[in-house]
Amino acid sequence: MAIIKVSRRDFVKISSTASAGLILGVSAPALGQKKKPTVLEVGPFIEIGTDGLVTVWVTKSDMGQGVRTALPMIVAEELDADWSRVRIRQAHYDRKFGAMGTGGSGSIRSMWKPLRQAGAAARSMLLTAAAAKFGADAATLTVKDGVVTDPKSKRTLTFARLAEPASKLEVPKDVKLKENADFKLIGKKVDRIDNRDIVTGKAKYGLDVRVPGMLYASILRSPAFGGKVARLDDTKAKSVPGVRHVVKIDSIGTDLPWNGVAVVADSTWAAMKGREALDVTWDAGAATAESTATLRKRLDEDVKSARSIHDAGNVDRAMSAPAKTIEATYELPYLAHATMEPLNAVASVTANGAELWLGTQFPNWVNSSVADALKLKSEQVKVNVMMLGGGFGRRANPDFALEAALVSKAVGAPVKVTWTREDDMQHDFYRPASHHHVRAGIDKDNKLVAWHHRFAAPSISAYFDSKSRKPWDSESGGLDDLPYAIENIGVDFALVPSVVPRGWWRSVEHSINSFVINSFLDEIARETGRDPIELQLSLLPAGKKMGTGDFPFEADRLRRVIEIVRDQSGWGGARAGEGRGRGFAAQWSFLSYAAQVAEVSMKDGEVQVERIICAVDCGTPVNPDGIRAQVEGAIVYGLSAALHEEITIEGGAVQQTNFHDFPLLRINEMPKVEVHIVPSNAAPTGVGEPGLPPVAPAVANAIFDVTGKRLRSLPFKLT
């Protein structure tokens, strides 16, 4: 399976190229829908019926980021459709839809062109059909809200009337897309398509799926990573009323790293009670030797022998005799995703194939992984994508789907596997823990001339591929492409072994590296007597570009978001009061630009984050209210981690179990959040993640501002 060898950054590239140009000229096969009112199909994405309804297939998973609203907006814009007549259907896994994986803040970016082209092609076909009816030149006709008008004769035709004749036409290959200035829907606040279903409890998440004859399963997994069943006594479990089967589940590489014992019953509660009654002895071998203490020791030692992975300029020479050296060490823990909806999947495996229903970010990975495990062909595995009660990277992995498929196969019935919160907390693919030693060289003119960043971590790539030749591939973003004008930049990395599974946690390495970079820049500013914002701007020469391709880094865009938060926060002016502090951070990630100023207050030794001012440039804003929501959410996710979250290991197992020992930010701790979106005509870039990386360092810098205490570890501990 390809995805596991792909780093998040490659995956950005893949998802942006794979779907381009895939739509037009593809004649969609029957879509398994009631064919009646559907007449005009354009590529796999659009259907327009004789009822005038425009149906857009959503091929990305919605875990809260709002793609089920924003993607059809893009189609409706080019089509000049009536938004109230647009419907969506969630795509099940099918190759014809192209790259279906959702991650890397790439849904809008990757679908922007293909959906616009499909919408414009459909519009052009409707216009050609109308022109024939009117006996007019198609170029003279206008379209608004799903109605085509001939300005000369004042005659009109609706999409409903035109769908049938348009369906007889060839899908045009070359279509002209709108100029941004002509957008009517894109850039407007559009309400979420799922609002009504959500507030009435009708929205269907994986957990809500019921299929006829379905049984319910709860799985006890080895607490220590990699542990196998040494002894199993299921007598008591089987005597729990409602329990039907007890099934051993074996791990399958990193696709399914857990060995477990599944209790299958008539109801979720019976399955959970049966599972409680299991008597299992686990053998986790050497894994039990790992603890947070052993890992920290190792990280601390190995960072000293880190090897160079990037050297621009000559960092060793530059660091050999600077006028001044500044050094600091930063530490970050393992983190769990803790999606609000615990993992779950429904699988129905028969002799002919498998069907799954689940909230997944990668239906393609579920498909290939289940097909491999059950020795089925890809076509025999149907994957239905439900609503996701949060994803944040956790629902990228296929482990929970595989388990359901294996249990269903073993018991010969459809099965829903529901994870408990404890299962989720203890069997995640965690954000890697890491240690960072950073040194800065300052020359005699007080100028930052060298940046040497050494870090050690058990990496994501190395978890999925122990032979990876670039095990730092999912950890070095933001470091080996540090966008600042510093003459000498060196990055060294040491891979540290760990039994803990690693994975992609919202904003991946940027959540880590931004904390180190922005905290250290703040330290440098204080040590060299400069203003942190002024220092960062001085490292971003106007007009500087870096990299090539569609999305080079543009210093001007980062400068702009920094200037916005500087001006909006009253930076440089008096603090809002006694015990108040202010901190700043900025990060370029997922091709978007974000800057934040945090304001904190200290009361009785406790930090209260009062306000976060954020500016983001993510190219053309498709649904600004959706962007605002994502940035607000990313800030909360990052703040929650900075203030509270830490996964610790003892005996090769995670110690935390539920929200009492892995607390999340609650409403009473919530700061005011202001989001400023930079108007732009550039192609859209990431939204779901870029708001996260600046928040931890902005708050840490604000705490320093008010207390003079430098917090170099996450989560923050003030005492």
| Stretch 580-639 residues interacting with other proteins (CB under 8 A) | 625-626, 629-630, 632-637
- With 0-12 / 13-18 / 19 or more C-beta atoms within 10 angstroms meaning exposed / middle / buried, residue 452 is buried
Task: Give least dist CB 640 to ligand FES, A.
Answer: 12
> Using an 8 Å Cβ cutoff, are 286 and 402 in contact?
no
Q: Is the CB of 389 or the CB of 694 nearer to other proteins?
A: 389
Q: What span, in angstroms and rounded, lies between the C-alpha atoms of 583 and 697?
A: 8
> Is 289 an interacting residue with respect to ligand FES (CB under 6 A)?
no
For position 360 contacting other proteins by CB under 8 A, the verdict is no
Binding of ligand FES by 340 (CB under 6 A): yes
Sketch the per residue contact string, 135 through 174, with other proteins: x for CB under 8 A, - otherwise: ----------------------------------------
- Supply the minimum distance, in Å, between the C-beta of residue 388 and ligand FES: 9
Q: Judged by CB under 8 A, which of 204, 238, 244, 560 binds other proteins?
A: 204
Residue pair 80/145 in contact (Cβ under 8 Å)? The answer is yes
Size of residue set near other proteins by CB under 8 A: 62
Report which of 61, 103, 13 is spatially closest to residue 504, judged by C-alpha positions. 103
Binders of other proteins among residues 464 to 493 (CB under 8 A) are: none
Note whether 688 binds ligand FES by CB under 6 A.
no
State the alpha helices, DSSP H only, in 586-649.
624-643
Task: Specify whether the CB–CB gap between 644 and 703 falls below 8 A.
Answer: no
684 binds ligand FES (CB under 6 A): no
Q: How far is the CB of 390 from ligand FES (least distance, A)?
A: 5
Tell which one of 208, 487, 567, 610 touches other proteins (CB under 8 A). 208
Give the DSSP letter string of 110-152: HHHHHHHHHHHHHHHHHHHHHHHHHTS-GGG-EEETTEEEETT
Residues 6+ apart with CB under 8 A from 553: 481, 483, 545, 546, 547, 588
For residue 203, the partner it binds in other proteins, ligand FES, none, with Cβ less than 5 to 8 A by kind, is other proteins
Sketch the per residue contact string, 250 through 289, with other proteins: x for CB under 8 A, - otherwise. Answer: -----------------xxx--------------------
Q: Which is nearer to ligand FES, 64 or 119 (CB)?
A: 64
Select the binding partner of residue 28 from other proteins, ligand FES, none (C-beta < 5 to 8 A, by kind). Answer: none
199 is in the binding site of which of ligand FES, other proteins, none (Cβ under 5 to 8 A by kind)? other proteins
In the chain the first and final C-alpha atoms are separated, in Å, by 47
Using DSSP, state whether 427 is helix, strand or coil: coil
* 391 forms part of the interface with ligand FES (CB under 6 A): no
Q: What are phi and psi of 553, to 5 degrees?
A: -70, 130
Longest CA–CA separation in the chain, Å: 84
Report what 629 binds from other proteins, ligand FES, none; CB cut-off 5-8 Å by kind.
Answer: other proteins
CB crowding 176-213: b at 16 or more within 10 Å, else e? eebeeeebebbbeebebbbeeeeeeeeeebbbbbeeee
Smallest gap, in angstroms, from Cβ of residue 472 to other proteins?
29
Among 154, 469, 660, 717, binds other proteins (CB under 8 A): 660
Query: 202 touches which of other proteins, ligand FES, none (CB within 5 to 8 A by kind)?
Result: other proteins
Say whether residue 361 binds other proteins (CB under 8 A): no
Give residue 154's region: left, alpha or beta (phi > 0; psi -120 to 50): left
When asked if residue 318 is in the footprint of other proteins (CB under 8 A), the reply is: no
Type and span of the H or E element at 261 = strand 260-265
Q: Which residues fall within 8 angstroms of residue 366, CB to CB, at 6 or more apart?
A: 93, 356, 358, 360, 381, 383, 398, 401, 402
- What is the distance between the alpha carbons of residues 44 and 531, in angstroms, rounded to a whole number? 53
230: tokens are 């040494």
Q: Residue 4: which of other proteins, ligand FES, none does it interact with, CB under 5 to 8 A by kind?
A: none
**30 belongs to the binding site for other proteins (CB under 8 A):** no
Collect all residues with Cβ–Cβ distance below 8 Å to 82 and sequence separation of at least 6.
52, 145, 146, 147
Alpha helices by DSSP H, 143-267: 159-167, 195-199, 235-238
**Nearest residue to ligand FES, scored by beta-carbon proximity:** 340
Examine residue 64 and tell whether it contacts ligand FES (CB under 6 A).
Answer: yes
CB 384 → other proteins: shortest distance, Å? 16
CA distances to 20, 32, 634 from 431, rounded to whole Å, are 31, 40, 16
Q: Which residues bind ligand FES (CB under 6 A)?
A: 64, 340, 390
Q: Which residues bind other proteins (CB under 8 A)?
A: 62-66, 191-192, 194-196, 198-205, 207-208, 210, 216, 241, 267-269, 338-342, 387-392, 418, 420-421, 625-626, 629-630, 632-637, 640, 658-660, 664-668, 670, 672-673
